[in-house]
Amino acid sequence: MINVNGLSKMFGKNEVLKDISVSIDPGEVVVVIGPSGSGKSTFLRSLNLLETPTAGDILIDNHSITGKKVDIQAFRKEIGMVFQHFHLFPHMTVLENITYAPIKVKGLTKSEAEELGKELLSKVGLVEKADEYPNRLSGGQKQRVAIARALAMNPKIMLFDEPTSALDPEMVKEVLDVMKSLAHTGMTMIIVTHEMGFAKEVADRVLFLDDGQLVEDEDPQVFFSNPSSKRAQDFLQKVL
């Protein structure tokens, strides 16, 4: 579903992604792990063309997204993204946050979008918050709304960039639980996270990035118990 070939990204003279190649199958749940500054966010943002690669190619469903003729807006509809800091629209209710893009971009009627929105809110356990404004929600609730909002576009792929890093500890589980149930529906997911327990339990694969390089692409059981590189061993020693 996703083929990354020789992806490099420079910011000025700083090469933050170095010749990364990886393929991800439909329905795979891939966790991306690595030290701060190793290029995890830039990698994820490249998949959504929030960053333009300096070199290399990215294919989604065998279509290059890095060519000149790509319709970026059309392509982005296929990929949902969830950020560390939620990015909800503060002046819209929870339900309006979710229905906005389906109405604007997909041309759903208001009532179709609201039906969809309520269905998604019930999936993330928040139907009763449909008419609240984001500032009345906890962090965990905001993030679950952000997930529902991304799902409302019916994406083929969901990208998560440290979705629980800004949350108080007691709210981490409710968000991970929503992600876990999404994984069980067969969604293709790429998740940058420091939640090693979640990675062990839910991921099909772990990508370990260090200094812009893809150092390991491993089965989680192997990665966590017996990483082959010294760099991953050192990293795991610090975080586990």
Query: Which of Mg ion, ligand ADP, none does 37 bind, CB closer than 5 to 8 A by kind?
Result: ligand ADP
Which x/- pattern, by CB under 5 A, does the window 198-237 give for Mg ion?
----------------------------------------
Question: Smaller CB distance to Mg ion: residue 85 or 156?
Answer: 85
CB of 37 to ligand ADP, least distance (A): 4
Q: Which stretch binds Mg ion (CB under 5 A): 8-16, 36-44, 60-68, 177-185?
A: 36-44
Query: Which of ligand ADP, Mg ion, none does 137 bind, CB closer than 5 to 8 A by kind?
Result: none
Q: Which stretch binds Mg ion (CB under 5 A): 3-11, 16-24, 38-46, 110-118?
A: 38-46
Chain residues binding ligand ADP by CB under 6 A are 11, 16, 34, 36-42
- In the β-sheet with 157-161, what is the strand arrangement from edge to edge? 79-82, 157-161, 188-192, 29-33, 205-210, 213-218
CB 99 within 8 A of CB 148: no
What are the tokens at 226? 């017996």
- Going by C-alpha positions, the residue among 7, 113, 148, 143 that lies closest to residue 65 is 7
Backbone angles phi, psi at 67, to 5 degrees: -70, 170
Question: Smaller CB distance to Mg ion: residue 113 or 175?
Answer: 175
Side chain identity, residue 234: D
Count of residues binding Mg ion (CB under 5 A)? Answer: 2
CB of 166 to Mg ion, least distance (A): 12
Query: Which of ligand ADP, Mg ion, none does 11 bind, CB closer than 5 to 8 A by kind?
Result: ligand ADP
Query: Which of Mg ion, ligand ADP, none does 188 bind, CB closer than 5 to 8 A by kind?
Result: none
Q: Which stretch binds Mg ion (CB under 5 A): 16-24, 40-48, 67-75, 140-148?
A: 40-48
Q: Which residue of 29, 39, 41, 126 would you call a contact of Mg ion, by CB under 5 A?
A: 41
Question: Smaller CB distance to ligand ADP: residue 39 or 102?
Answer: 39
Question: Smaller CB distance to ligand ADP: residue 11 or 89?
Answer: 11
Region of residue 56 (left: phi > 0; alpha: psi -120 to 50; beta: else): left
CB 164 within 8 A of CB 31: no
Nearest 5°: the CA angle 171, 174, 176 is 105
Q: What share of the chain is helix, strand, coil (3-state, %, to 5)?
A: 40, 25, 35
Region of residue 166 (left: phi > 0; alpha: psi -120 to 50; beta: else): alpha
